């Protein structure tokens, strides 16, 4: 008899979680950008936790056991996907003992599914190209259009998980959409005079941002993705920067500034530590403020470096 | 009687054959129903069958079947040694191990991990297990051949070690390179609370390996582990564990071998500079009791180590070893090692290690070991 009960329990467990109770959903996002978007859409019907900090390299987060506890209680896991978290998230999910957030579970949302992904490699891919992402560039959240797509996916997911609040989520989404559109007009206007400005970046973190706002990336401090700067590449890059008249070098906050600064001294280009994520600096508390910060910084850097 | 068997076989074949036939057909491609969503382009014409190929069975199937292939990786571990080492030790040059791994999700309820180790002695299953991550009661279950959750180093595969060798304590008391591991079942559970990450693991093994020498079915080995972890700051944390393992000593019926271990790890990794700096200090202590025919043999072993990353691709480390043999007259073997490791990329590693060993009996040895590690295939998770 007892065995039967155990078996029934085991079966129930294997079948997945039962219906969700009404109330607050526990949402865990792998990055602070996704967390911010989830807060915009979920309002006070969700409680959101981010795993990686905004000033951390999201490729190299440590799979700390404290994250296992966080994931254990999650109703919904939102991840960046495109292999960004491949070095640390899969073992955390396995150890979370949480059926909802397993791959394919009801609470597993890969935010890249509906996003516009750039730099999907064509043809043969080998690691001779460095640490390439075969499914495309995973830094896609740096295009506000993708922020909107993520928000929409989150809204649909939350609505499906808690139908009673679906109308609430869709009105929150509409409000976020409106504020984001207003902000985009502002950013477009600020950056309009600088369209076509040639820049160099450290890692390939900014293709979406640059494409969206018309900046032209002509080189990288890294010789190949994930490969640290080499003297030969640095010398070649300096020549290229001088030839093309590049004024600005964008660096993520988690890279060493030694090489970019040396290139800056040699060429006169201005080195700017740009924010790749919400939380990279104290004042960047949400997704819209992230672009406010970056757009202002890029414009002031171009001006300081003697651009138009 | 014989007729009955014939009937049985015939019936079985009749029942099974449609299933087999279906299994040989190519997987049906999902065709969009007219009602579903926006109009999709018409499905491409079916690809011509490969010459001589039957309908997609036996490895010449349509490309879509390959999406279910597991994540595969191969890791080579080449070790060389310089210096006098009377009575054994690492060979001068050796392709020490090739590890092949195959990992994938089995179905909505489980994932599977296979690690095969090819070494100069032959091929062995390093680990092969299924994991059920979502059992009721917050349990995580693994079934298969496993490296036992005894301490820290015992669970690590060769290529994830911070040294080219394993500490003397592991070699003398915990089964050396193969370590404590066997066919078995592992169950672990979290104890959520506000203060500390707490995980308890219970495992049962066949009890026949480098450490335990069970001869009968009843000579099972049991293992228990309690792990406590806490973030001290966002960049540093402390990881403590206690383990015990018990099984047959092989010295006679009913005689036991018991291992008790304690481990502590302190980690520091500043988040803003995570790819350039890290520090890890770790110690493991093990007490061993071997019940012999006439008396009990007690032995103690330990190691303490530190690793420091001082540039994006450079690591250095130091390790102190001290351990008795499980059954030894007296005295401890001691060792001191210094390591320097270079990472050309995440997928290869070159390491040198200076090692001074002081055996309990015999002269001290000075050796230099070097290692090339290289991996191809799927990107595995980083070890924490």
Structural domains of chain B, with CATH = 67-377 (2.40.160.10)
**Tokens linked to A119:** 């730099």
User: Any CB–CB contact under 8 A between B292 and chain A?
Assistant: no
Residues 6+ apart with CB under 8 A from B352: B339, B340, B341, B368, B369, B370, B371
Q: What pLDDT score does B134 carry?
A: 82
Identify which of A20-34, B39-53, B221-235, B322-336 has the greatest average pLDDT.
Answer: B221-235
Q: What pLDDT score does B40 carry?
A: 38
Interface test with B, best of A50, A52, A53, A65 (most B CBs within 10 A): A65
CA A133 – CA A125 distance, rounded (Å): 9
Decide if B222 contacts B245 (C-beta within 8 A): yes
Contacts with A26 from chain B: Cβ below 8 Å = none
- Over chain B, what is the mean pLDDT? 85
Residue the block writes with tokens 């500079």:
B273
Q: How confident is the model at residue B45 (pLDDT cuts 50, 70, 90)?
A: very low
Contact: B197, A227; criterion CB under 8 Å: no
Residue B273 reports pLDDT greater than 50? yes
Contact: A73, B136; criterion CB under 8 Å: no
Interface test with B, best of A11, A62, A85, A273 (most B CBs within 10 A): A62
- Single out the residue of A217, A238, A241, A220 nearest to residue A229, CA to CA: A220
Higher pLDDT, A30 or B89: A30
Residue B324 reports pLDDT greater than 80? yes
Q: What pLDDT score does B55 carry?
A: 43
Q: What pLDDT score does B66 carry?
A: 79
User: pLDDT tens, A244-275?
Assistant: 999 999 999 999 999 999 999 999 999 999 99
Identify which of A6-15, A125-134, B190-199 has the greatest average pLDDT.
Answer: B190-199
CA B116 – CA B100 distance, rounded (Å): 5
The beta-carbon neighbor of A10 closest among B111, B135, B313 is B135
Sign of the CA dihedral running B139, B140, B145, B151: negative
**Tokens linked to B285:** 């202590």
Which B positions 23-62 lie with beta carbon below 8 A of chain A? none
Contact: B346, A91; criterion CB under 8 Å: no
Contact: A97, B230; criterion CB under 8 Å: no
CA A124 from chain centre, in angstroms, equals: 26
Which B positions 339-378 lie with beta carbon below 8 A of chain A? 345-347, 376
User: Any CB–CB contact under 8 A between A224 and chain B?
Assistant: no
Higher pLDDT, B247 or B31: B247
Q: Which residues pair with B139 in a beta bridge?
A: B135, B189
Contact: B384, A65; criterion CB under 8 Å: yes
Residue B125 reports pLDDT greater than 90? yes
H or E element in which residue B182 lies: strand B181-190
For range B217-231, the mean pLDDT = 96
Q: What pLDDT score does B10 carry?
A: 46
Q: Which residues pair with A260 in a beta bridge?
A: none
pTM summary value = 0.84
Residues 6+ apart with CB under 8 A from B243: B149, B150, B151, B223, B224, B225, B226, B259, B260, B261, B262, B263
User: Any CB–CB contact under 8 A between B237 and chain A?
Assistant: yes
Structural domains of chain A, with CATH = 10-183 (3.40.50.1980), 186-304 (3.40.50.1980)
Sign of the CA dihedral running A227, A231, A232, A233: positive
Higher pLDDT, B33 or B10: B10
Residue A14 reports pLDDT greater than 70? no
Q: How confident is the model at residue B58 (pLDDT cuts 50, 70, 90)?
A: low
Give the DSSP per-residue string, B85-99: -TT--S-SEEEEEEE
Higher pLDDT, B361 or A152: A152
Residues 6+ apart with CB under 8 A from A100: A16, A17, A74, A75, A76, A77, A106, A107, A108
Q: Indicate left, alpha or beta for A34 from its phi (over 0: left) and psi (-120 to 50: alpha).
A: alpha
Kindly report the backbone phi and psi dihedral angles of residue A168, in degrees, each rounded to the nearest multiple of 5, phi listed first: -60, -45
Decide if B229 contacts A65 (C-beta within 8 A): yes
Residue A5 reports pLDDT greater than 50? no
CA B320 – CA B281 distance, rounded (Å): 12
For range B164-177, the mean pLDDT = 94
Q: What is the DSSP letter of A303?
A: H
Lowest pLDDT segment from A95-104, A233-242, B41-50: B41-50
User: Any CB–CB contact under 8 A between A257 and chain B?
Assistant: no
- Single out the residue of B311, B316, B274 nearest to residue A258, CA to CA: B311
CA A152 – CA A114 distance, rounded (Å): 9
Residue B28 reports pLDDT greater than 60? no
Q: What pLDDT score does A220 carry?
A: 97
Give the DSSP per-residue string, A71-108: HHT-SEEEE--TTTTTTTHHHHHHHT--GGGSTTSTTE
Q: What pLDDT score does B3 carry?
A: 52
Q: What pLDDT score does A130 carry?
A: 87
For range B291-295, the mean pLDDT = 90
Measure in Å the smallest separation between the Cα of A291 and chain B Cα atoms.
Answer: 21
Q: What pLDDT score does A1 carry?
A: 42
Residue B275 reports pLDDT greater than 70? yes
Q: How confident is the model at residue B383 (pLDDT cuts 50, 70, 90)?
A: confident
- Over chain A, what is the mean pLDDT? 91
Q: What pLDDT score does B54 carry?
A: 42
Residue A37 reports pLDDT greater than 90? yes
Contact: B272, A56; criterion CB under 8 Å: yes
Residue B145 reports pLDDT greater than 90? yes
Q: What pLDDT score does B380 carry?
A: 78
User: Any CB–CB contact under 8 A between B85 and chain A?
Assistant: no
Q: How confident is the model at residue B137 (pLDDT cuts 50, 70, 90)?
A: confident
Contacts with B234 from chain A: Cβ below 8 Å = 53
Sign of the CA dihedral running B79, B80, B83, B85: positive
User: pLDDT tens, A109-130?
Assistant: 999 999 999 999 988 888 888 8
User: Any CB–CB contact under 8 A between B232 and chain A?
Assistant: no
Contact: B190, A97; criterion CB under 8 Å: yes
Contacts with A226 from chain B: Cβ below 8 Å = 345-346
Q: What pLDDT score does B361 carry?
A: 84
Q: What pLDDT score does B5 carry?
A: 52
Lowest pLDDT segment from B35-39, B43-47, B182-186, B293-297: B35-39
Contact: A55, B135; criterion CB under 8 Å: no
Q: What pLDDT score does B7 carry?
A: 47
- Single out the residue of B185, B178, B186, B184 nearest to residue B126, CA to CA: B178
Q: What pLDDT score does B61 carry?
A: 55
User: Any CB–CB contact under 8 A between A63 and chain B?
Assistant: yes
Residue B238 reports pLDDT greater than 50? yes
Residue A306 reports pLDDT greater than 90? no
- Single out the residue of B114, B122, B174, B100 nearest to residue B144, CA to CA: B114
User: Any CB–CB contact under 8 A between A228 and chain B?
Assistant: yes
């Amino acid at each position: 008899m007892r065995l039967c009960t155990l078996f029934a329990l085991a079966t129930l467990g294997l079948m997945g979680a039962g219906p969700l109770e009404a109330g607050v959903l526990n949402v865990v996002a792998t990055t602070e950008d996704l967390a911010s978007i989830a807060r915009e859409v979920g309002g006070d019907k969700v409680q959101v936790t981010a795993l990686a900090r905004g000033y951390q390299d999201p490729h190299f987060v440590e799979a700390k056991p404290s994250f296992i506890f966080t994931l254990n209680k999650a109703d919904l896991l939102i991840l960046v996907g495109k292999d960004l978290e491949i070095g640390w998230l899969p073992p955390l999910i396995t150890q979370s003992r949480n059926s909802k957030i397993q791959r394919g579970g009801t609470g597993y949302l890969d935010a890249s599914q509906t996003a516009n992904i750039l730099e999907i490699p064509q043809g043969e891919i080998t690691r001779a190209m460095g640490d390439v992402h075969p499914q495309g560039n995973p830094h896609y959240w740096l295009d506000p259009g993708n922020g909107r797509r993520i928000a929409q996916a989150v809204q649909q997911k939350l609505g499906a998980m808690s139908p009673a609040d679906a109308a609430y989520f869709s009105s929150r989404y509409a409000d976020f959409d409106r504020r984001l559109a207003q902000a985009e007009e502002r950013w477009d206007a600020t950056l309009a005079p600088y369209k076509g400005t040639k820049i160099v970046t450290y890692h390939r973190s900014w293709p979406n941002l640059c494409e969206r706002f018309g900046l032209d990336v002509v080189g990288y401090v890294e010789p190949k993705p994930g490969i640290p700067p080499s003297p030969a590449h640095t010398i070649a890059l300096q020549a290229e920067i001088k030839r093309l008249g590049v004024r600005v070098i964008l660096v993520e906050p988690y890279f060493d500034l030694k090489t970019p600064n040396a290139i800056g001294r040699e060429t006169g280009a201005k080195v700017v530590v740009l924010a790749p994520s919400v939380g990279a600096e104290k004042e960047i508390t949400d997704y819209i403020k992230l672009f406010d910060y970056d757009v202002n910084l890029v414009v002031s850097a171009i001006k300081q470096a003697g651009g138009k | 009687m014989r007729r009955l068997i014939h009937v049985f076989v015939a019936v079985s074949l009749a029942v099974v054959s449609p299933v087999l036939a279906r299994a040989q057909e190519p997987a049906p491609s999902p065709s969009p129903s007219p009602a579903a969503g926006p109009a999709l382009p018409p499905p491409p014409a079916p690809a011509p069958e490969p010459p001589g190929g039957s309908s997609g069975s036996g490895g010449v199937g349509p490309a879509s079947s390959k999406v279910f292939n597991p994540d595969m990786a191969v890791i080579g571990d080449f070790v060389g040694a310089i210096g006098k080492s009377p009575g054994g030790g690492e060979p001068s040059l050796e392709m020490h191990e090739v590890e092949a791994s195959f990992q994938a999700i089995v179905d909505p309820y489980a994932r599977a991990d296979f690690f095969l180790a090819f070494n100069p002695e032959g091929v062995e299953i390093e680990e092969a297990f299924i994991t059920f991550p979502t059992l009721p009661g917050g349990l995580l279950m693994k079934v298969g051949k496993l490296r036992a959750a005894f301490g820290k180093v015992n669970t690590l595969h060769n290529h994830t070690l911070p040294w080219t060798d394993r500490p003397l304590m592991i070699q003398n008391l915990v089964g050396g390179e193969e370590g404590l591991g066997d066919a078995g079942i592992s169950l672990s559970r979290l104890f959520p609370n506000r203060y500390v990450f707490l995980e308890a693991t219970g495992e049962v093994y066949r009890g026949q390996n480098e450490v335990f020498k069970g001869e009968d079915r009843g000579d099972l080995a049991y293992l228990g582990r309690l792990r406590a972890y806490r973030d001290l700051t966002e960049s540093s944390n402390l990881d403590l564990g206690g383990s015990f393992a018990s099984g047959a000593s092989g010295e006679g019926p009913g005689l036991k071998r018991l291992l008790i271990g304690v481990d502590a790890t302190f980690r520091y990794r500043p988040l803003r500079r995570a790819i350039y700096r890290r520090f890890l200090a770790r110690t493991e202590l093990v007490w061993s009791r071997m019940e012999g025919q006439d008396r009990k043999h007690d032995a103690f072993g330990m190691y303490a180590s530190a690793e420091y990353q001082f540039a994006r691709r450079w690591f250095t480390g130091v390790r102190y070893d001290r351990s008795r043999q499980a059954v030894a007259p007296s005295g401890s073997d001691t060792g001191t090692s210094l390591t320097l490791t270079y990472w050309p990329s995440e997928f290869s590693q070159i390491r040198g290690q200076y090692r001074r060993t002081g055996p309990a009996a015999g002269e001290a040895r000075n050796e230099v070991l070097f290692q090339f590690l290289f991996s191809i295939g799927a990107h595995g998770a980083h070890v924490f």
